[in-house]
């Protein structure tokens, strides 16, 4: 790896040196191309890889590549996002402004106090930002915190939080391993000033490198050339570079063309970047310098209305800009004909999302799965795929034994006086308490499960009634959110389970472990438990049967599961067992688990009611409508809108529910986020209300 830096390395470069040093990564230091002077440090991972821009991206890559510094934990990620989106922007403004009346200390104190409240409380002093060991959060945020605190003169009576973080920074930079990284950057800075150690930063290419190159005669389809189709622009650009490479090096067995979109923040360096020169250098008839290869490719580019302003950057990366004419025609086509999907092969895709439990309310925990899953279904449907929206409700298992027992004993007239779903939630809690505390009730519940699973008519009738009541309540939420699903709950797969287990046994995958049947894999330490010692099944048993059904009976090309991130290991293990058994063939099919973060309150804890209960989703939607209605009435009375009073309810629903959905979708799916009605329903900023009002 080579870290490319400017002549005056600062805090951004220090982050990179620390990450590289702490992970023991071997690297060299070079001078960054002058064109990228404003982009901070860059990392050339290897000759055939694209250049990584920005210190935080470099640090994330280095830590993940070395599998050190605990870089993938959600809490660490939240610190990194806070540093990038809150602390670093404040620091840039603070450096350019003044500190009149101690305003900087006040601002920094407020930011740190808010962050300190959300931080898990560890005993003793603040030694690390997260966990009990050094993480990537300490490297990235620690450097920026040190710079921020340097701006503020230390006072004896300064805020406690400033004292806490000053002590933290002092301890951090007193560490021997941190000091070593700081020293390595200082040495590199001295070398950079003397012009040493700058491989890959040379500019210009000898004329001999591109002489006698024949320009490609390749012609795009006329509609593609003029931007009058919906083909993926990246694929169009790749086809142009492919033609140029074949013209520059005829007869060469060319590896796949490597073109990537340029980060939006670095748009001035091009819309697309071709990295193929790296993999071509040194091959027969090609120059040894990737920069020479890059210039040869440019010389062979066919005439096209799609690209212009081609240039070589860094070690040999080709930056390309789309022509204004191509972009204009592409936009005119969209305006005239509407947005259409790019042509692609149609697939059958099963999407498993929402999935609440029968006899329980849908709560805020189901919000993200329902909204994100529905949104992705809409995108896939727009692309022309056949999407199967599956609601894998929890409608089976041992809990129904205790529910049926408790219901029939507590409500002997249940057939004529069935409780509503709220009472069902209370029923579930009461049944669980009895199940845990009353041994006789526990045994009756287990016997009831056997009756239910054997098809006992009375048991089935109670079970069906519970499912129907819950289903109606679930649908009220789905109707409000505009979500459609097909219910295929756990019970649907019961008849399939024995055959699927026989298939695993026939493959020799099922092993006995303490009386249970499990599958061991070479990839994961934990076994995949499928049959308990008493012969009963688990969630995993249903999931492997569901995977088989979706891939073989529903003929899915792809299966996607949307759940919270804590189920990541379970689904990875499921897919591996599916692969081992032949149920799932990764070369022909695709299975993905998309994990998302939790919805938290202002203190950073999971969003709950004041009494500690999980917030019911229907109550959250009600609150959104009530608050939005109050805002609309206030705007009408102030003369800020011409909306008639008789339309307020309908408008409040659309705005309120839309705000809930948009607020969730605008967050990073993999991160936790703070739920706030005030920010969600604000008429200013990045909110659905602002977008709909404007």
> Mean pLDDT lowest for which of 39-53, 322-336, 482-496?
39-53
What pLDDT score was predicted for residue 204? 37
What pLDDT score was predicted for residue 281? 64
The answer to whether residues 364 and 601 touch, using CB atoms and an 8 Å cutoff, is no
Residue-averaged pLDDT of the chain: 84
- Residue 689 CA to residue 581 CA, distance in Å, equals 50
For residue 168, the SS3 value is: helix
**Which residues are CB-neighbours of 576 under 8 A, at least 6 positions away?**
521, 523, 524
Structure-block tokens of residue 223: 């509609």
Cα 61 to chain centroid distance, Å, stands at: 16
Evaluated on CA atoms 502, 507, 512, 516, the torsion sign reads negative
- Residue 97 CA to residue 5 CA, distance in Å, equals 27
pLDDT score of 661 more than 90? yes
pLDDT score of 49 more than 70? no
> Mean pLDDT lowest for which of 188-202, 211-225, 507-521, 546-560?
188-202
Mean pLDDT of the region 620-633: 92
- Residue 172 CA to residue 520 CA, distance in Å, equals 42
How big is the chain, counted in residues? 694
pLDDT score of 683 more than 80? no
Ramachandran area for residue 30 (φ above 0: left; ψ -120 to 50: alpha; else beta): beta
The predicted model scores a pTM of 0.59
- Residue 460 CA to residue 449 CA, distance in Å, equals 10
The answer to whether residues 680 and 659 touch, using CB atoms and an 8 Å cutoff, is yes
Rounded to a whole number of angstroms, the distance between the first and last alpha carbons of the chain is: 48
* 141-162: pLDDT as tens digits: 999 999 988 888 887 778 888 8
What pLDDT score was predicted for residue 101? 65
CA distances from residue 626 to 48, 228, 632 in whole angstroms, order as listed:
56, 46, 10
């Amino acid at each position: 790896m080579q870290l490319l830096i400017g002549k005056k390395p600062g805090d951004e470069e220090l982050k990179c040196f620390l990450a590289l040093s702490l992970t023991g990564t071997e690297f060299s230091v070079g001078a960054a191309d002058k064109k990228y002077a404003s982009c901070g440090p860059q990392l050339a991972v290897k000759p055939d890889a694209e250049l990584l821009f920005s210190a935080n991206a470099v640090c994330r890559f280095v830590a993940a590549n070395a599998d050190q510094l605990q870089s993938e934990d959600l809490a660490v990620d939240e610190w990194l996002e806070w540093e990038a989106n809150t602390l670093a922007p404040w620091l840039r403004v603070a450096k350019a402004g003044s500190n009149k009346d101690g305003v900087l200390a006040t601002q920094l104190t407020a930011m740190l106090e808010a962050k300190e409240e959300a931080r898990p409380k560890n005993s003793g002093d603040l030694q690390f930002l997260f966990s009990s060991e050094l993480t990537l959060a300490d490297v990235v945020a620690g450097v920026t915190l040190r710079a921020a605190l340097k701006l503020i003169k230390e006072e004896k009576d300064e805020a406690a939080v400033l004292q806490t973080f000053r002590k933290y920074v002092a301890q951090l930079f007193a560490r021997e391993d941190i000091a070593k990284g700081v020293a390595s950057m200082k040495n590199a800075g001295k070398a950079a000033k003397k012009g040493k150690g700058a491989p890959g930063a040379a500019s210009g290419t000898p004329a001999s490198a591109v002489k006698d190159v024949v320009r490609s005669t390749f012609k795009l389809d006329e509609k593609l050339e003029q931007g009058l189709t919906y083909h993926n622009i990246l694929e169009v650009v790749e086809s142009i570079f492919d033609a140029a490479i074949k013209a520059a090096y005829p007869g060469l067995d060319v590896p796949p063309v490597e073109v990537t979109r340029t980060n939006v923040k670095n748009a001035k360096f091009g819309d697309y970047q071709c990295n193929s020169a790296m993999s071509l250098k040194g091959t027969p008839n090609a120059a040894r310098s990737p920069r020479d290869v890059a210039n040869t490719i440019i010389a062979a580019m066919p005439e096209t209305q799609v690209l212009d302003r081609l240039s070589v950057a860094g070690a040999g990366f080709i930056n390309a800009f789309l022509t204004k004419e191509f972009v204009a025609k592409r936009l005119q086509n969209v305006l005239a004909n509407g947005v259409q999907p790019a042509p692609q092969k149609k697939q059958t895709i099963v999407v498993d999302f929402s999935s609440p439990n029968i006899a329980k309310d849908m709560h805020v925990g189901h919000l993200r799965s329902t909204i994100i899953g529905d949104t992705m279904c809409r995108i896939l449907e727009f692309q022309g795929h056949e999407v199967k929206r599956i609601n894998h409700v929890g409608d089976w298992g041992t809990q129904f034994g205790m529910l049926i027992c408790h219901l029939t004993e507590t409500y002997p007239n249940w057939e004529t006086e069935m409780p509503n779903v709220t009472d069902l939630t209370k029923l579930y809690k009461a049944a669980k308490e009895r199940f845990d505390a009353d041994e006789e009730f526990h045994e009756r519940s287990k016997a009831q499960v056997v009756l239910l699973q054997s098809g006992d008519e009375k048991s089935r009738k109670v079970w069906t009634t519970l499912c129907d009541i819950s289903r109606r309540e679930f649908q009220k939420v789905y109707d409000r959110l505009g979500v459609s699903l097909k219910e295929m709950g756990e019970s649907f797969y019961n008849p399939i389970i024995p055959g699927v287990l026989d298939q695993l046994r026939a493959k020799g995958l099922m092993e006995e472990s303490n009386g249970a049947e499990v599958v061991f894999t070479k990839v994961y330490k934990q076994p995949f438990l499928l049959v308990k010692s008493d012969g009963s099944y688990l969630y995993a048993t249903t999931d492997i049967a569901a995977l088989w059904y979706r891939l073989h009976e529903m003929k899915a090309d792809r299966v996607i599961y949307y759940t919270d991130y804590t189920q990541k290991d379970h689904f990875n293990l499921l897919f591996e067992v599916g692969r081992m058994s032949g149920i799932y063939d990764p070369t022909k099919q695709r299975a993905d688990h998309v994990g998302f973060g939790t919805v938290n309150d202002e203190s950073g804890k999971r969003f709950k009611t004041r009494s500690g209960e999980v917030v019911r989703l229907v109550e959250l939607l009600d609150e959104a409508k009530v608050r939005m209605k109050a805002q609309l009435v206030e705007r009408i009375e102030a003369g800020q809108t011409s909306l008639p009073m008789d339309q307020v309810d309908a408008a409040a629903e659309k705005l309120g529910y839309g705000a809930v959905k948009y607020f969730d979708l605008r967050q990073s799916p993999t991160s936790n986020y703070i739920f706030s009605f005030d920010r969600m329903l604000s008429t200013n900023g990045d909110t659905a209300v602002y977008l709909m009002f404007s």
